[in-house]
Structure 1
Amino acid sequence: MRITSLWRDHGGRFSALKATTLVLVLWPGLTLAARWAMQDLGGRPITEVIHGLGDWTVRFLLITLAVTPARAVLDWPRVVLLRRMLGVTTACYAAAHLTLYCVDQKWHLLTVASEIALRFYLTIGFVAMTGLFVLAATSTDGWQKRLGRNWKKLHRVVFALAVLALFHYFLQAKSDVTAAVFAAGLYFWLMLWRLAPRRWQTKLWLLPALAVAAAVLTAGIETAWYGLATGANAQRVLLANLDVTFGPRPAVEVLLAGAAVFVLAALRRAFRRRQPTLVRAARRAA
């Protein structure tokens, strides 16, 4: 794939949307590299970068899964142009995550292999990563033609890979799974939207319902995780979602994110309804 195709649409024309997205997806990696160079990552900078790349792998995976809902909910067909770039970006961040882990192990690949085989959370992460590499490698037009109908079947594996990636995120986080719970909540929202009947997926009223349902599931998984991992009292964990003294809990953040999607969709639709009126007024003024 030619480098220039990264910022061009299918017709070969320059796409401001793709060019802007390219800059945005590179920014987290460049920021981590700059902080590392400036010794701004503490006593174990390579560990911080490894974790940071892993965090962004999960984030970009969720953003990739959000492309289809964004197209329908926001009535934004052009966002589909970004799906391949975002998917490949996810695989690239995963590759960098693994590469730096190998660097941290001083390229003792037998040690790396044994760690992956013996540590369950590394095994889960490696399986998810391998799947992401396969999907990225087969994301080209050529592979799409070769695989035909099987191409979509293969790429639906991304939903299972996301579950594995999130599980790895939880296991790696150990005692504080706040970020992992929030990511899981966003995944719940995306999956609930896909499970809704197709005729409902473009309805504005569905969005508040999804936000509430995803928030409830988020609170549930946080309660279950802390209960199983630490034996924490379920009632206390649930009530913690009502205490914002130290900031909102993941369930509340998921609810707010869902509310933001609702507001964006409502504004988008209001603007599109008003657009023909604005065009007619501009023509009359001219």
Structure 2
Amino acid sequence: MPTQIRIAYPWLDRAGRLSRFKLAVFLLALAPGLWFTAAYALDQLGGKPLTAYLHAMGDWSVRFLILSLAVTPMRRIANAPKLILVRRMLGLTALAYALFHFTLYIVDQKFDLARVASEIVFRIYLTIGFAGLLGLTVLGVTSTDGMIRRLGKAWPRLHRLVYLLTALALLHFFLQSKIDVSKPVFWSGLFLALMGWRLMHHLKVPSTPLPLLGLSLAAGLATAGLEAAWYALATGVPAGAVLAANLDFAYDIRPAWWVLGVVILIVPLNLWQNRTTSGGRGPVARPARTVKA
């Protein structure tokens, strides 16, 4: 008899049962693409709808990439081991949005593949973006259980490239944003916070409220510094002026404050988790259980 092929639907657990958590994340992953597709079809994306559609898909690729990197810190900080169940899904969602982003770019170039190739070679921000896309594709292809077994100890080393690929994606985001880089600055600030947590973990700094508060403050300051450095190098605006703008709330709130506001939320979350797991007796260190995706 022929071998029966089992399809691993993303909303099922390993036993083939419906996982409400995975289904919810899967639907949330689909939502931005469906919304922008509908908005494009109904001509609700402004004067340049295809350009807006293209950029939105690229933006969401970066967001899901950052979310995938947030899984490991959050499962430890919040003692939520089940988050690991959706890490692969979030990474593949980031790849799917990136591929769709690139497809829309080809459509925008009227399917002139020679021109697309030329633009990738001669425009540095497209070169960087395409390199990131190729890297994400490699990680996507090697994310199956079979490839994990086949690659063995080489698999973790290969997939650590996600940090470099995220940096490339963010640099591509900066370069294509041109004048207003508030969005890439914000997401870069969150990336710096996630990498800061990984450094803390490597140095065996505990994920307790005080170190996490320090991490949130450092992430906010690093984001302000990144924004100032970018404008100084790219536009010649004095770094001091950009840093001073972070203290002027009359016009808007700079990305550094948004990063601080988001990252500092992990402090009360960690306090609540400690109180819950210790029955109100104070922090108790509990290792997160490993759950395969």
TM-score over 0.5 (shorter chain): yes
Q: Which of 210, 213, 228 is residue 215 of structure 2 equivalent to?
A: 210
Give the secondary structure class of the aligned counterpart of 1:200.
Answer: coil
Post-superposition CA distance 1:226-261 (Å, at most 9, x none): 111111122111011112223310111111011112
Alpha-carbon distance between aligned partners in 2 of 1:172 and 1:228, rounded to the nearest angstrom: 15
Choose the corresponding residue for 2:74, options 56, 64, 70: 70
Q: Which residue does 2:164 correspond to in 1? A: 160
Worse-matched range after superposition: 6-15 or 107-116 = 6-15
**Greater RCO (CA < 8 Å, at least 6 residues apart):** 2
CA distance change for structure 1 residues 100 and 201 in 2, over 3 Å: closer, same or farther?
farther
Greater shift, 264-273 or 32-41, is seen at: 264-273
SS of the equivalent of 2:209 reads: coil
Correspondence 1:124 to 2:128? yes
Alignment partner of 1:176 is 2:180: yes
Deviations 1:27-76 (A, max 9, x none): 00001011111111112111001000010011000000011101111100
Q: Distance in 1 between matches of 2:160 and 2:233?
A: 30
The answer to whether the 8 Å contact 1:73/1:201 transfers is no
**5+ residue gaps in structure 1?**
277-286
After TM superposition, give the deviation of residue 273 of structure 1 in Å: 3.4
Instruction: Report the equivalent of 1:272.
Output: 277
C-alpha distance in 2 between matches for 1:30 and 1:151: 33
- Tell me, yes or no, if structure 1 residue 225 matches structure 2 residue 241: no
CA distance in 1, matches of 2:278, 2:60: 36
CA contact 2:129–2:172 (8 Å) conserved in 1: yes
Q: Point out where structure 2 has 5 or more consecutive residues left out of the alignment.
A: 282-293
Structure 2 CA distance, aligned partners of 1:125 and 1:197?
A: 30
Aligned-pair CA distance for 1:275: 8.9
Confirm or deny that 1:32 pairs with 2:31: no
Asked if 1:46 is matched to 2:50, the reply is yes
TM-score normalised by structure 1 residue count: 0.93
Question: Which structure: greater helix fraction?
Answer: 1
Q: Contact (CA 8 Å) 1:211, 1:258: kept in 2 or not?
A: yes
Amino acid at match of 2:226: I
Q: TM-score, normalised by structure 2?
A: 0.90
What's 1:282 paired with?
none
Aligned residues: 276
Q: Distance in 2 between matches of 1:80 and 1:116?
A: 35
Deviations 1:153-186 (A, max 9, x none): 0000000001111110110101110001111100
Alignment of 1:4-23 (within 5 A): 5-23=9-27
Alignment root-mean-square deviation, CA = 1.6
Out of 6-15 and 105-114, give the one that drifted further.
Answer: 6-15
Amino acid at match of 1:200: V
Tell me the distance in 2 between the aligned counterparts of 1:189 and 1:11: 35
**Same amino acid, percent of matched pairs:** 47
Paired residue for 2:286? none
247, 259, 265: which one pairs with 1:242?
247
Mapped contact 1:219–1:241 kept (Cα < 8 A): yes
State the 1:197 CA deviation: 3.9
Task: Give the whole-Å Cα distance in 2 for the aligned partners of 1:44 and 1:177.
Answer: 20
Aligned-partner Cα distance in 1 for 2:155–2:205 = 26
Q: Is 1:90 the equivalent of 2:77?
A: no
2:197 pairs with 176, 193, 197, which one? 193
Quote how far apart the aligned CAs of 1:201 are: 4.2
